[in-house]
Structure formats: C-alpha cells, structure tokens
A = this chain, B = another copy of it.
Amino acid sequence: MKKGEKRKQELLKIAYDMFLSQGYENTSVDEIIARAKIAKGTYYYYFPSKEKMLEDVIEMMIESEVETAGQVIGSDMPVPQKIVAIITSIKPAEAEQPIKDALMQPENVLMHNKIRKKLIEVVVPLLSEVVEEGINKGIFACDNIAERVRMLLIISNDTFNDRIFTESDIAVFIDMTEKLLGADKGTMSFIYDLIDKSEMEVSK
C-alpha cells in the first residue's frame, strides 16, 4: 500500500505516458488501472473522473514549461530572442517526436485543446512581461500588450504546432510579429535561421 500522494503521482505518470502514446480518448480507465495494478475503486479514490485526471496531467506538463520560461525571462538574452525562446519552450516541439505526433492526431482534440487553452492562459502574462521590457528598451512600441501577445501565441501555435508550414508562413509570421509589437523591420528576422529546415514543407 502506498502513501496517498505518491500513488497519485504514480498514476499521473502512467496516464501521462499512455495519453501521449495512444491518445486520451483511446486510453480507457481499465487500461490505466491494469497497468498500475490497482482496482477501479482505487482509481476513483484518487480522481473524481477521467477528465479531471487529464486536467491534472496537463497541469503537470505545463509546470515544467513555465519553469523554463521563467529562466528565459531572468536571463540576459536580447529581448526578441527571449520572445522566441519562450514561444518555442511553450510548445511541445522540444519534446520527443512521438509526443508531437500524438497531439497532432485528430482523435486527441480534447487534450490538444485543453493544453492549448491552459498554456495560453499561463504564458500570456509571462510573455507580456518580456514585451514590456522590450518597450522600455525602445525595441518595441505598442499598447494593449496582453491582447497582442495572445494573438502572437495563437498564431504561432497554429503555424508551427498544428500543421506543416512553409517558408512563406515563416516570412509572414516574422512580418506580423514585428508589426504587432511595433518593432523595426528586421528585428525578428533571426527567427528564420532558427527553423529546423527538415520540419518544413518544400515551398512552391
């Protein structure tokens, strides 16, 4: 018999692995408890529902990403680079390939969406801080920071996480980012060099 909190973490870890490898909808509670070698009742002693468990799993995933973002903010990186670093740290792109694949799968909409929503909610304040720093340093010039940052995240998510992108997508993303934040042309063009060319579709 395990002590409460420890067992919960154990279950969370198992669920995390299974959700990512087979998707949330395709992972049954029965499978989870089979792998954990516990009974139905025990599972529901720790989680009120399967969906609530998903929420916990997501929270777990996000925590580590927020930590990374925090380090970036505190670093002495140039502001534009900070922005990009946070945006990329945020997306599971830096995780292993199977994770990205799992999230791309259409049957994982629920999980995908919950992560996206939570991530945005959590990251907007962080990124806003950085943009503010940029404004103070004269690199950016804009109002309504939170709203702009949100758009940035939405777009970057759609462009780089949810689908295959082309060179044109990058070009427009750079252009849009600069204009959205009121930066000089060229401020963000370093992004282009960061992109892993292998991820890209051949542009036509």
Contact = CB atoms under 8 A, between A and B. Distances in A.
A150 B159 CA distance: 10
- Tally of this chain's copies: 2
The interface residues of chain A, by DSSP majority, are classed as: helix
Interface in A135-158: 144, 146-148, 150-151, 154-155, 158
Interface residues of A, number: 21
8 contacts: A113-B113, A144-B171, A144-B172, A146-B168, A147-B166, A147-B168, A148-B172, A179-B179
A107 to B, nearest CB: 9
Interface of A: 109-110, 113, 144, 146-148, 150-151, 154-155, 158-159, 166, 168-169, 171-172, 176, 179-180
Contacts of A179: 176, 179-180
A154 B169 CA distance: 13
Given A109-B110, A176-B176, 7 more contacts: A109-B109, A144-B168, A147-B169, A147-B171, A147-B172, A151-B176, A154-B154
